[in-house]
């Protein structure tokens, strides 16, 4: 690198953000720079993430567009003192680009390095007076912006939708209709999520034997661990849905879960699983980031939040997650916290699925409470018998997600920022 090198510091955290946000943006930055590629050094610094698999650093380091990567274990010293574990040099000019984690980190590191700051805000833009520029997913984010700060905001679209169009995996052979089960990737969601999903799938298959089922396995989860949640000796939550038991079958090219009714559900490990998800008539998913991903793909879904085992739901970040995992009292606290959160959200008429939150209306059905597999299975069957309802749901999802081309627009914004000499306080 020459003395005129300009640094772009990308802040990110989990595997989803790296795959769907960072990767398409760094590709677009390098492509847009062309002959000036050698002038810009791209560094990726990862902050701690509860969904991390431990392989994020290796993932980012393998991309040719990225010059340097630092793992999450060294993030706090970097945030506090501005020095990386390998004592990286930094140029006088640069940009801190937020693509995952906490937006506050962008503010701190921008001030510490004397760099301009650019935040991609999917849903909420924070620290608006102190961040230089925001790239947002859709115009709904702008509704919360003061008119005096609106000049900082540009609607670029949905990075996840861009990534879904550009990433391809092997196509899955479908002989009938296909439903994906997304029971979660964390133990706290898998305990109720896997047996409940399997119980629903068997009821559907009894009435519609042409239906195939598949579980796209998260990259942070191995199939042996997933299968344990279908074992009653490992997962006591199974007593709520006894037919949700399953055993792992690893004969043939694709591993499978086999249920008591002899239904076999394929476990799809290529990641990201966008191609196989696009082949689905419908997805049955737990709450969380899955709903945002499916919404960006425009795939109809039913969102489940069973409350039979409230103390099994302990997957929050921050202080609530710490309290719920305390020894001896964690289970009781988890029940109390979940009851309070569910009551508060329902009283305020708030939604749980991201597409519904984006649109502030019920686009995809949410099932919350003491759920029975028979009722959910019946709604799925009705959707399959009247596919025009699924088409309508897909059309509404397409309307609320951001437009495509976000990665290219965000790359242009980043390049424009580093071409402007930084002056503290501007």
Confidence (pLDDT) at 318: 43
Confidence (pLDDT) at 257: 98
Per-residue tokens: 424: 């503290």
Confidence (pLDDT) at 260: 93
CATH superfamily of 6-158+404-418: Glycogen Phosphorylase B; (3.40.50.2000)
Q: Are strands 256-258 and 264-268 parallel, antiparallel or unpaired?
A: antiparallel
Summarize pLDDT for 255-274 with one digit per residue, the tens.
Answer: 999 999 999 999 999 877 88
The single-letter DSSP state of residue 22 is: I
- Across the beta sheet with 282-286, the strand order is 247-249, 256-258, 264-268, 211-216, 177-182, 282-286, 301-306, 366-369
> Are 345 and 338 within 8 A, CB to CB?
no
Residue ranges, CATH 3.40.50.2000, the chain: 6-158+404-418, 177-400
Confidence (pLDDT) at 234: 95
Q: Are strands 211-216 and 247-249 parallel, antiparallel or unpaired?
A: unpaired
| CATH architecture, range 177-400 | 3-Layer(aba) Sandwich (3.40)
Confidence (pLDDT) at 163: 66
- Whether a cis peptide bond, with omega within 30° of 0, leads into 272 is yes
Q: pLDDT under 50 in the chain at which residues? A: 310-325, 329-330, 420-426
Sign, Cα dihedral of 115, 117, 118, 120 = positive
SS (H, E, C) 176-217: CEEEEEECCCCHHHHHHHHHHHHHHHHHHHHHCCCEEEEEEC
Alpha carbon 405 to chain centroid distance?
Answer: 19
pTM: 0.74
Q: Is 382 exposed, middle or buried (0-12, 13-18, 19+ CB in 10 A)?
A: exposed
Confidence (pLDDT) at 359: 84
> Strands, E, within 150-300: which ranges?
153-155, 177-182, 211-216, 247-249, 256-258, 264-268, 282-286
Confidence (pLDDT) at 330: 45
Confidence (pLDDT) at 19: 81
Confidence (pLDDT) at 314: 43
Confidence (pLDDT) at 309: 52
How far is the C-alpha of 203 from the C-alpha of 183, rounded, in Å?
17
């Amino acid at each position: 690198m020459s003395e005129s090198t300009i640094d772009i510091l990308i802040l990110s955290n989990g595997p989803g953000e790296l795959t769907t946000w960072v990767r398409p943006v760094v590709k677009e930055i390098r492509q847009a720079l062309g002959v000036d590629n050698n002038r810009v050094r791209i560094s990726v610094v990862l902050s701690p993430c509860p969904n991390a698999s431990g392989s994020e650093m290796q993932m980012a380091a393998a991309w040719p567009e990225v010059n340097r990567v630092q793992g999450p274990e060294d993030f706090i010293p970097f945030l506090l003192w501005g020095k990386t574990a390998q004592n990286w040099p930094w140029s006088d000019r640069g940009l801190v680009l937020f693509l995952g984690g906490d937006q506050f980190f962008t503010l701190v590191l921008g001030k510490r390095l004397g760099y301009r700051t650019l935040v991609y805000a999917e849903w909420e833009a924070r620290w608006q007076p102190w961040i230089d520029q925001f790239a947002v997913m859709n115009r709904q984010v702008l509704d919360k912006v003061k008119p005096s700060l609106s000049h900082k905001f540009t609607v670029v679209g949905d990075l996840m939708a861009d990534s879904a169009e550009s990433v391809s995996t092997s196509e899955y052979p479908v002989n009938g209709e296909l439903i994906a089960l997304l029971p979660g990737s964390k133990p706290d969601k898998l305990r109720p999520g896997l047996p409940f999903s399997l119980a629903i799938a068997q009821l559907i298959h009894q009435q519609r034997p042409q239906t195939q089922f598949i579980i796209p396995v998260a990259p942070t989860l191995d199939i042996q661990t997933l299968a344990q949640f279908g074992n009653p000796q490992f997962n006591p939550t199974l007593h709520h849905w006894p037919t949700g038991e399953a055993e792992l079958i690893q004969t043939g090219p694709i591993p499978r879960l086999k249920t008591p009714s002899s239904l076999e559900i394929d476990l799809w490990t290529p990641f990201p699983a966008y191609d196989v998800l696009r082949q689905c008539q419908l997805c049955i998913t737990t709450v969380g980031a899955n709903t945002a991903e499916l919404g960006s793909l425009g795939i109809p879904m039913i969102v489940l939040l069973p409350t039979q085992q409230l103390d099994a739901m302990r997957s929050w970040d921050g202080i609530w997650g710490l309290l719920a995992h305390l020894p001896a009292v964690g289970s009781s606290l988890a029940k109390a916290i979940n009851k309070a959160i569910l009551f508060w959200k329902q009283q305020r008429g708030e939604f749980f699925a991201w597409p519904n939150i984006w649109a502030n209306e019920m686009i995809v059905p949410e099932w919350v409470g003491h759920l029975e597999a028979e009722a959910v299975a019946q709604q799925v069957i009705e959707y399959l018998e009247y596919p025009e309802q699924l088409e309508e749901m897909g059309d509404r999802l397409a309307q609320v997600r951001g437009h495509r081309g976000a990665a290219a627009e965000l790359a242009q914004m980043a390049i424009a920022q580093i071409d402007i000499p930084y002056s503290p306080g501007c």
